[in-house]
Structure 1
Amino acid sequence: MPSALPDGDPAPHDGSLPESALAGLGERPLGVYVHVPFCAVRCGYCDFNTYTAAELGSAPGASQASYANAAVAEVRLARRVLGEPPPASTVFVGGGTPTLLATDQLAAVLDAVRSELGLVDDAEVTTEANPDSVSPESLAALRAAGFTRVSFGMQSAVPSVLATLDRTHDPARVPRAVGWAREAGFEQVSLDLIYGTPGETPDDWRRSLEAALACGPDHVSAYALIVEDGTAMARRVRRGELPPPDDDDLADKYLLADGLLGAGGLAWYELSNWARDDAARCRHNELYWTGADWWGVGPGAHSHVGGTRWWNLRHPAAYAERLAAGRSPAAAREVLDAETRRVERVLLELRLSSGLDVAVLGDAGSAQVPALAEEGLVSLRGDRLVLTRPGRLLADAVVRRLLP
C-alpha cells in the first residue's frame, strides 16, 4: 500500500529505499525521466501535471528560469541515494513542453545526469518538443549537448482536429521541424499522433497518417484519445458540445494506422508504437514495459527501483522548496509485493510484440490460453504468448481473462 511521507518522516530519496530495492541495482538497466511541467497553452484533452505561466503566477521556485536548478538538485540526490548505480542507458525529457526551456537549461540537466549518474556510450537521450517550440538553432544546440532523439507532438495534420484539441501549431511546421532535426544530426526522430478526436473523420485520420509518413520518421506513436475526468474536453462532452469517442471508430482507426504504418516500413512493437527497425524503438519506454529501474526527476514524476515505487510532489513551487531545503521532493511511495509485480508484468509485457512468458500466468491464467487462441486473440511463439492483430484491439479484455 502507498505510504505517505509527511514532514519529518524518512523519504525513499533520503536513504530509506529497502535493501531489496538496492540489492539488484545494476542487474537491470537504469533510465532517467525528467519532467518539465510547463506549457504555453493548456490543451483541452490533457490531464498531465503541467502548468501555464498564468497558472503558476509568481510563486517562488515555480518559474521556468529556476526549474533547471531544482532538477539538478534532484539528480544529485539520486546519486546520494543510489550510491554507485549503473550508468543510465536512457534519458527521456518529457512534459509539458521541455523545449520551452532554454537549451542551456536542458543541457545543464543532462550534464548533471552525465556527471552524477553516468551515461552508457550509446545512451538514448530523448526530448519531447512541440513543432512550434523549436528552431534550427535550438535543435542544433540540443544535439550538440548530447540529445540523440527528438519526439514531436504532431497529433494531427488537420487544422480542425488540432483546433478541437487546442493545439496551436501550424501542420506545415511539422515537416520543417523534422527536417531541422535531421540537419542537426539527431539519430532518431519520432512523431506522436492522436486518433478519435471528436469530429475527426476516417479521411482526416488517413490524411494525418500519410502526412506523418511523408516526413520519413523513424518512429510513430499513435494513441487513442481518452477523455479524462477534470479536463476541459470532458466538460465539453458532458455538456453535449462534443460527442464522446466511439469504440468502433477507434478500432477502425487503429487498424488503419497499423496498415498504413506497416506499409510505410514501420512495424508495431508495442500496442501504440511503430518503429523503422529495432534501433528506432524507444528504449526508454521499453524500460517501463519490462519492469526495469528508472528515476523520475521533476514535479509529479514517478520512479521505480527494484520493486519500490515513489512519486514527487506535483506543484513546481512545493517541489523546488523541498529541494532548496535539502529534503526529498517525494510525496508517497509503495513497495510492490510479488503478486502486484506479476500482475503488472502481465499488463505491460502482453502489450509488446515480443509477448509474455506463459509461465508468468500461473495455472489459472494458462488455462485461458487455449480458448483465447481458438478465438484468434493470441498465439503461442515457443513459450511466449503474443497478441494477434484482433487481440490488440481487445487487449484489455484479454488481460482480464488471463488474470482471473
Structure 2
Amino acid sequence: MPSTLPDGDPVPPSGDLPESALHGLGERPFGFYVHVPFCVTRCGYCDFNTYTASELGPGASREDYARTAIREVRRARANLGEADLPVRTVFFGGGTPTLLPAADLVAILKVIGEEFGLAPGAEVTTEANPESVGPAYLEELRDGGFTRMSFGMQSAREHVLRVLERAHTPGRPAQAVAEARAAGFEHVNLDLIYSTPGESDDDWRASLAAAIEAGPDHVSAYSLIVEDGTRLAARIRRGELPMPDDDVAADRYLIADGMLAEAGFEWYEVSNWATSEAARCRHNLLYWTGGDWWGVGPGAHSHVGGTRWWNVKHPAAYAQRLTSGASPAHAREVLTSQDRAVERLMLELRLSAGFPLRELDRPRVVARALADGLLEVEPFKTGRAVLTLRGRLLADALVRDLT
C-alpha cells in the first residue's frame, strides 16, 4: 500500500489559506491536477495512492467520484476568492482516470472552466492505460475539451510487462496513439520505464523503437524505482528478482537520449523529450517553474504562493469531508524563502533552459562541475548554467552539492 501522508501543520475546516499564499495570486501561472485513485489491478512496482475495487471499502465509489471532485473544485474557488485565475493547464492523473466514463472527466473539466475560466489554448491532459480507452471514448474526450493524451506504455517486451504486472499487450500502445490521433489529439505522450529486472539493452532498444514508431510527439522515460511496501520490493527482497543496477540505468538513459535525438526528439527536462516546444508538457513545466496549482482528489498535493498542502488519503474520508462541507486537506506547510530557493534550484536545473549562473552561490562547486563537464554555460541563454549529458546522469548528486 502507499506510504503514509507526511506530517504538517493543521488546516482549518474551512480550508482558508494564509494571507501569504494569496499575495500575488493570479500573477503566477495557475493549473489544476485531478487525481483519480482507481485501478483495475495494482501494478507490482506502484506505490501511488490508488485503490482497486476490493480495496476501496464503503463510503466511496467510482460512480460518485466526479460529483465529489466537483465539490472540491467549487471549494477551491471559494478559498481562492475573487482573484482572476484563468487555468492554463489541467492534468488528470492516477490511478487510471480513464476508468471513469469520459462524460465524468468532461464534467469535472467543465466545472473548472465555469468556476475559473480556461485560458486561451489551455492544455488539458489525461493519463490512460492503453487498454482503458477506445476510439469512441477518445473522441468524447476530445470533443469535451481535452487536448493531450498520455499513455502508460512502459515496455514493448512481454516478459518485462509481466515483471511490472502491466495488463496491456505490447502492441496496444501504438494502437492507442493512432486512435488518439484519429480523434483529433495533436499532442500524445508515451511513458516508458527502464532498468526493470530481466530487461536487456536490446529489450530497451526495442521498446524505444516501438515508441518512436508509434508516432507520439512526447516521450517520458523513467528509471524504475523500487519502492518499499510494493510487491516488486518484496520479490527483490526474497531474491526472486535482482535489484536494478545504477550503472545499467545510466547506460539505458544514454541509449534513450541517443535514439530519441536521432528520431527528432529534444530533451527539455532530464526525463522528458519532445519533438517541438509546443509538444512539451506545459502542466509539468508549471510545476517545475514555480507556478500555482490546486490538487483535487484523495492524497492530492497543492501549492499556492509558497503554501503546500495535501488531502486526506482514502477516498471514503475524502468524500466524507466534502459531503459535510469541510476541507479535505489533511495538513499543510508554509515554505520558508530558503525552502523555496532550494526547490527552485532542484527543479529548474533539471530543465534544458538551465538556471541563472549568478544565483548559484557555491562557486567552488560550480567551478568543479564546469571543469568536470557536468555543467556548461549556455551561450544562447545568457548566463544560464545547463546540464550536459553527463550532468543529467548525475543531476541529483550535483543538486545536493549545490544546496
Tell me the TM-score normalised to structure 2 length: 0.96
Provide the C-alpha distance between the structure 2 equivalents of 1:372 and 1:169, rounded to a whole number of angstroms.
43
Residue-pair matches, total: 394
How far does residue 2 in structure 1 lie from its aligned partner after superposition? 5.5
Of the three residues 66, 73, 78, the one matched with 1:68 is 66
CA distance in 2, matches of 1:197, 1:222: 12
Residue 281 of structure 2 is matched in structure 1 by 282
Instruction: Say whether 1:204 aligns with 2:203.
Output: yes
**TM-superposed deviation, 1:380:** 1.3
Q: Which moved more, 1:168-177 or 1:294-303?
A: 168-177
**Residues 2 and 335, structure 1, Cα contact 8 Å, conserved in 2:** no
Residue-by-residue CA offset, 1:288-332 (whole Å, 9 max, x unaligned) = 111110000000000000000000001000000000000000000
Taking the aligned partners of 1:139 and 1:4, their CA distance within structure 2 comes to: 41
**Matching residue of 1:98:** 97
Residues 366 and 402 in structure 1, CA contact (< 8 A), matched pair in contact too = no
Structure 1 position 372 matched with structure 2 position 364: no
Secondary structure of the structure 2 residue equivalent to 1:367: helix
Q: Following the alignment from structure 1 to structure 2, what is the Cα–Cα distance between the partners of residues 395 and 14?
A: 36
Q: Structure 2 counterpart of 1:371, which letter?
A: R
Confirm or deny: 8 A CA contact 2:360 2:366 kept in the other structure. no
The Cα offsets for residues 245-271 of structure 1, whole Å up to 9 and x where unpaired, read as 001100000000000001011100000
| Equivalent-residue separation in structure 2 for 1:360 and 1:82 (angstroms) | 32
Q: Distance in 1 between matches of 2:26 and 2:168?
A: 42
Question: 1:121, CA displacement in angstroms?
Answer: 1.3
Spell out the pairing of 1:56-135 with structure 2 (5 A cutoff): 56-57=56-57, 59-60=58-59, 62-83=60-81, 84-135=83-134
| CA displacement at 1:370 relative to structure 2 | 1.2
Letter matched to residue 366 of structure 2: V
2:173 and 2:372 map into 1 onto residues whose CA distance is 41
Alpha-carbon offset, residue 356 of structure 1:
0.8
Contact 1:302 1:312 in 2 (8 A): yes
In structure 2, C-alpha distance between the alignment counterparts of 1:95 and 1:3, rounded to whole Å: 23
Equivalent position amino acid for 1:132 in 2: E
What CA distance in whole angstroms lies between the structure 2 residues aligned with 1:342 and 1:98?
33
State yes or no: 1:292 paired with 2:294: no
Shift of 1:85: 3.7
Q: Give the conservation status (yes or no) of the 8 Å contact 1:191–1:217.
A: yes
Aligned pairs for 1:172-321 (under 5 A) are: 172-321=171-320
Structure 1: stretches of 5+ with no match in the other structure: none
Q: Distance in 2 between matches of 1:265 and 1:281?
A: 13
Cα distance per residue 1:96-139 (max 9 Å; x no partner): 00000011111110011010111001000000000000010000
DSSP 3-state at the match of 1:223: strand
RMSD: 1.1
Note if contact 1:342-1:360 (Cα within 8 Å) is conserved in structure 2: no
Structure 2 residues not aligned, in runs of 5+: 1-5
1:3 maps to a residue whose letter is: G
Distance (Å, rounded) in 2 between the aligned partners of 1:175 and 1:379? 37
1:14 counterpart residue number: 15
Which segments of structure 1 move beyond 4 Å, counting only runs of 4 or more?
A: none
Q: Residues 175 and 215 of structure 1 are in contact (CA less than 8 Å); yes or no, is this contact kept in structure 2?
A: yes
